[in-house]
Amino acid sequence: MEPLSVVVVGAGYWGPNLVRNFNLSRDWHVAAVCDLDLERAEQLAWTTRDAVAVTSVEEALALDGVDAIAIATPARTHEKIALAAIAAGKHVLTEKPLAHNVESGQNMVAAAAAADVVLMADHTFCYTPAVLKIAEYIQAGELGDITFVDSVRINHGIVQPDVDVFWDLAPHDLSILDFILPGGLRPESVSAHGSDPLRLGKACVGYLVMNLPDDVIAHVHANWLSPTKIRQLVVGGTRRTLVWDDLNPTQRVSIYDRGIDFITVNEDEARAAAQVSYRYGDTLIPALPEKEALSLMVAEFAASIREHRPPRTDGLAALRVLNVLDATTRSLEAGNARVAVHDQKENVA
Do 100 and 155 share a domain, yes or no? no
Verify that 216 and 330 share a domain, yes or no.
Answer: yes
pLDDT value for 349: 46
Please indicate, yes or no, whether residues 109 and 71 belong to a single structural domain of this protein: yes
Which tens digit of pLDDT belongs to each residue from 121-156? 999 999 999 999 999 999 999 999 999 999 999 998
Residue 115 counted as domain residue = yes
The tens digit of pLDDT for each residue in 204-242 reads: 999 999 999 999 999 999 999 999 999 999 999 999 999
Sort residue 116 into left (φ over 0), alpha (ψ -120 to 50) or beta: left
CA distance linking residue 305 with residue 310, whole number of Å = 8
**Average pLDDT for residues 17-21, to the nearest whole number?**
97
Sign of CA dihedral 154, 127, 166, 79: positive
- Supply the CATH number for residue 85's domain: 3.40.50.720
Mean predicted confidence (pLDDT) in 41-61: 96
- For residue 146, what is the domain's CATH number? 3.30.360.10
Q: Identify whether 346 is part of a domain.
A: no
**Are residues 202 and 106 part of one domain?**
no
For residue 290, what pLDDT is reported? 87
The answer to whether residue 349 sits within a structural domain is no
Between 345 and 234, the higher pLDDT residue: 234
Tell me what the pLDDT averaged over the chain comes to.
Answer: 93
State the pLDDT at residue 346.
43
Q: Which domain holds residue 42?
A: 4-122+293-313
β-pair partners for 152: 221, 232
User: pLDDT tens for residues 270-295?
Assistant: 455 566 677 778 899 999 998 999 99
- Read off the pTM: 0.91
Kindly state whether residue 348 falls inside one of the protein's structural domains: no
Q: How many domains does the chain have?
A: 2
Same domain, 136 and 249: yes
> Does 326 score more than 60 pLDDT?
yes
Regarding whether 136 and 118 lie in a shared domain, the answer is no
